[in-house]
Chains A and B, each alone.
Chain A
């Protein structure tokens, strides 16, 4: 396939994944803000959502307070925000249009229809009363496109580049969410398993759609190391770092098999994957959770760049 097409399929899926993760963060922020009694702590939650998506500085150039509807409209649809969810969905659809011939009709139609629905929903300011509906629609688009891929695409290079895009983005997103909140998992003198801690842990898990799965695996007992282990090392949880890397590995192996040879990204991925597998949660905490996550995010970027270069995404 064309290098430009591989690039398009890869980014189409990264943008879809990113839009979905942003929707989930907004959902969690909204949920928390509602449960906070006073406006001040509600605003604080919204600020935290902006921090997690890395958009707090850009936001503060336009606005001076963290009023809920203002924040979520900024994140969802502000035309001055180049990283809004609407822009992500448009980017995904534009990339899909560029690689139209690499996609099945079902995948293209799911992407195009999702864009049509969301552009219409996001054409007017979103209110608290319809925020839930909008966020559901955003998550649904990602689900529909992935479902159409699963059900209709040949398991060839196109599929592999699509999945690599999805899991590079997801690994990056989970690591960033965890890194913004890593301090809530650190042992502190004040820690007595207070209800505040429990709320924060729950928030963290919800941000990556892991609250139910974690409770189910751990009989609803919250414990910071357990949570960190779950988000980083659990091989069953589809948003954990280990899971994402395992998926990237298997799709990269698919490419090597189809093309008959490996590229430099395989080597990088093998090293990073081996280290991740061999490490324990104790070692991670010993070396510093923040340092570990920073290193992981850097490695993931490096792998993404190597894939782009090795497979000639651009001239």
Chain B
């Protein structure tokens, strides 16, 4: 691991400055382009995003402010061979995640076998007692999963995080491609890129395949997307997906329980929904079962759910599987449920709840990345190498006070891909989030994903809430 931290891997260029095969066609095209024209296109892209309203709101800033996630027009390119291996690893991991959830909410074999300590579940808010003994329609817990991958070398992809609750960002995968195709149509005749545009259709099909028992007969299941509303940071994406799927975009205030079904208020009366793709957190889903003050959900939806009246995607309680405390056990989890060695490795992780690990972490704080177990979005984390003595000391105090709340990982040297900067192409660190759909018909991985890029030189933080940008992600055809 320490060896990997010192070598830098650029996905476009070899160490001698020659172009890697994946980028050969692209670079031929790039070299033949007039750079001042590219600069104009770059500026045009921002106007394009603003006009179509691809914006997100940043928590903690003024509610009305809508920001753009910066888009970089140099694509991130993955070869067919690399993708094949990735998809096998992702599929294995997603199968394990669903088997794990099924087990946790039923017999808990993994705990009985001693592979997972009971304390990983106990006192964990993401584990929902309301789900114990219940199997969701079709046996699917995580209908939509985003697996965050980082790369440190030619063959070293690792899973940084599993997103099994409500992974976001898929609209950027789609709009980034749209933008690239609009700006550089001829580029796509020169490079064989696999399309991503049918993701919404695949999502709709996958959700419909998980219809609940109450949706009987030949009629096509009614799918709706539940959004917290226009002030949510991902509202654009909610509207975008509903629109592309031909599904209704509903808010809690549109819904109520009518005759044992979840129904939406239409202009001609209440109409039952079969599958709800909810983009509100578990806690806000049902004021009768969870947070009683929630106005974002539907009172009574959990009762309807348990009676087979609706499918909720993703299932409530899936958060336990992407919890950072559970993450460190994922290699054991994959092996336990699939009987295979994990194809994709975890990033080595120290659980600060364990005394030996804590001691190591405290000794090496300046070299490590420390994350809150339940945090997300890059908030509340420490990046040792870029922190001041004062910051390190402050964090050490937090760690000692509440070690259970943290995990630590080595500072990885994430791979780089160039961005189109003022001075020309400049390498920046990236990660990758492919999107995975799960239904009783199987696991479906769209060839592409969201590549997030740290725009600041040397920065390792790619989160959009912390100034990261995105790139179009190309998976090359065989």
Contacts and interface: CB of A to CB of B under 8 A. Distances in A.
A97 B266 contact: no
A315 B266 contact: no
Contacts of B239: 97, 100-101
Interface of A is mostly: helix
B251 interface: yes
Interface stretch (A107-115, A213-221, A273-281): A107-115
Contacts of B265: 2-4, 312, 315
Contacts, number: 61
Interface string A88-105: 000000100110110001
B53 A97 contact: yes
Contacts of B28: none
A98 B267 contact: no
A1 interface: yes
B51 A112 contact: yes
A311 B51 CA distance: 32
Given A4-B251, A112-B53, A100 B243 contact: yes
B264 A98 contact: no
B78 interface: no
A116 interface: yes
A102 B322 CA distance: 34
B108 to A, nearest CB: 41
Contact of B254 (A4, A97, A112, A161): A4
A94 B239 CA distance: 13
B253 interface: yes
Given A3-B254, A108-B53, A116-B50, A100 B249 contact: yes
Contacts of A108: 52-53
Interface residues of A, number: 23
Interface in B51-100: 51-53
Interface string B250-290: 11011000000000111111000000000000000000000
Interface residues of B, number: 23
Nearest to B271: A2
Contacts of B121: none
B169 to A, nearest CB: 18
Nearest to B66: A97
B362 interface: no
B92 to A, nearest CB: 36
B232 to A, nearest CB: 11
A83 B231 CA distance: 22
Interface in A1-43: 1-4, 6
A157 B266 CA distance: 11
Interface of A: 1-4, 6, 94, 97-98, 100-101, 105, 108-109, 112-113, 116, 157, 161, 255, 259, 311-312, 315
16 contacts: A1-B267, A3-B266, A4-B254, A4-B265, A94-B230, A97-B53, A97-B230, A98-B230, A100-B53, A109-B51, A112-B52, A112-B53, A161-B267, A259-B268, A312-B269, A315-B265
Interface of B: 50-53, 229-230, 235, 239-240, 242-243, 248-251, 253-254, 264-269
- Which 8 residue pairs of A and B lie closest in terms of their CB atoms, listed nearest first? A100-B239, A311-B267, A101-B243, A101-B249, A3-B265, A101-B242, A6-B267, A112-B53
